[in-house]
Structure 1
Amino acid sequence: MSWDSIFVLTNVVAVAGWAMLLFLPRRPATHAFILFACVGLLCLAYLIMFGGLVGGWLDPARVAGAAPPNLLDYSVDGIRGLFMSDGGVVLGWTHYLAFDLFVGLWIGRDADAKGFSRLMQMPFLLGTFLAGPIGLLLWLLMRERRARRTVRAG
C-alpha cells in the first residue's frame, strides 16, 4: 500500500470520527465507537507505521538527497529529518489526527457535562479539527468561565 493510500485512509477514519462527534447523538455507544474504532484505529496505524519505519520494514520513500533521520536528534534539524520522507509525513499527520480527535471527543463530553448546547460546542470542535491546539485553548478558556460562574452560583 502506498503512503498516499495510507494518508487517504487515515483521513477517512478521522473525518468519520469527527462527523459522528459533530452530528450523531452522544450516546455511550457513539463515544465508544469514536474512541476505539476511530482514535484507536489511528493509534494502531501509527504504531504499525512507527515500528515499520524505525525497524526498517517499511520504505520511508525519502526525499532525494535527504540524509537518514537521527532518532536521537531532538533539534529543529533533527525533527526536519524525520519528515523528509513520505512515511515520516504520513506518520506525523496520523499523530495529529489521532490526538486532535481524542481531544475533540474530550471537549464534546466535557461540554455535554457542563450543559453547553451542541450549537455552542461547534466552533470549539471545528477549531480543534482544523487547528488542534487553538480549538483546545479556546475551549479551556470558555469552560473556565462556565466553571467559575457555576462555583459562584453554588
Structure 2
Amino acid sequence: MDLETVFSICNTAILPGWLLLAFAPRWRWTQRIATGTAAALALVYLIAIVPTFGKGEGGFGSLHDVAQLFARREVLLVGWIHYLVFDLFTGAWEVRDAARLRIPHVLVVPCLVLTLLFGPVGFLAYLVLRAALRRRLDVEETTSVEAPAPR
C-alpha cells in the first residue's frame, strides 16, 4: 500500500473516535472505539516503523538530525501516526477523567478540539480547566460546611 493511502486511512480512522468523544461521551462503546482505534493505529505504527528504524540519515540528537530523519516520507508518516495515536488516547483520557470528576462535558469539548488540532495545547487546556474547577469545588465544599459549635 502506498504512503498516501496509509496516511488517508489513518486520518479517516480517527474521526469516529473523536466524534464519539465529543458528542457521545457516555455511550458504552465510545471509549472502546476510541481506545481500539488508537491501539489499531499503534499496530500500524509498529508495522511501519520496523522497516524504517535505524535506516537512513538523521536521529534525535539535534534539531538538524530530526529534520534529516523526517525528510524521509516513510518516517514522516510514522511520526504522523505517532501523533494521531497519542492525541486520540489523550482525548479519551480527558473524557474519562472529566466524567470521574463530574466536569461538565460541554466545558471539555473545546479541550478535545484543541487536543485534536494542537495536541499538547488541548491537554494543557484540559489540565487548566480541571485545576480551576477542582479548586472551585474544594472552596465550595469548604465554605458550605458549617464550623463545629464550640463546646
Instruction: Give the TM-score category using the shorter length.
Output: 0.7 to 0.9
Give the secondary structure class of the aligned counterpart of 1:54. Answer: coil
**How far apart are residue 39 of structure 1 and its match?**
0.5
Match of 1:116 in 2: 103
Structure 2 letter corresponding to 1:69: E
Q: Read off the aligned partner of 1:53 and give its amino acid letter.
A: T
Which runs of 5 or more residues in structure 2 are unaligned?
143-151
1:85 paired residue number: 72
* C-alpha RMSD of matched pairs (Å): 1.7
Compute the TM-score of the two structures, normalised by the length of structure 2.
0.85
Give structure 1 stretches of 5+ with no counterpart.
Answer: 57-67
Distance 2:106 2:134 in 1: 19
1:130–1:26 distance in 2 versus 1, CA, 3 Å: same
**1:35 alignment partner in structure 2:** 35
More relative contact order, 1 or 2 (CA 8 Å, 6+ apart)? 1
CA apart distance, 1:95: 0.6
Displacement of 1:25: 4.4
- What is the identity, as a one-letter code, of the residue corresponding to 2:13? V
Q: Does 1:44 align with 2:43?
A: yes
1:5-154 mapped onto 2 (5 Å cutoff) = 5-36=5-36, 38-54=37-53, 68-71=56-59, 73-152=60-139, 153-154=141-142
CA shift in 2, pair 1:55/1:48, >3 Å: farther
Which has the greater radius of gyration?
A: 2
The separation in 1 between residues aligned to 2:104 and 2:135, in whole angstroms, is: 18
Post-superposition Cα deviations, 1:39-60, rounded to whole Å, max 9, x if no partner, equal 101111111111121276xxxx
Aligned-pair CA distance for 1:89: 1.3
Whether the 8 Å CA contact 2:58–2:67 is kept in 1: the answer is: no
Percent identity of the aligned residues?
32
What one-letter code is carried by the residue in structure 1 that aligns with 2:92?
L
TM-score of the two chains, using structure 1 as the length reference = 0.83
Corresponding pairs, count? 141
1:113 is displaced (CA, Å) by 1.8
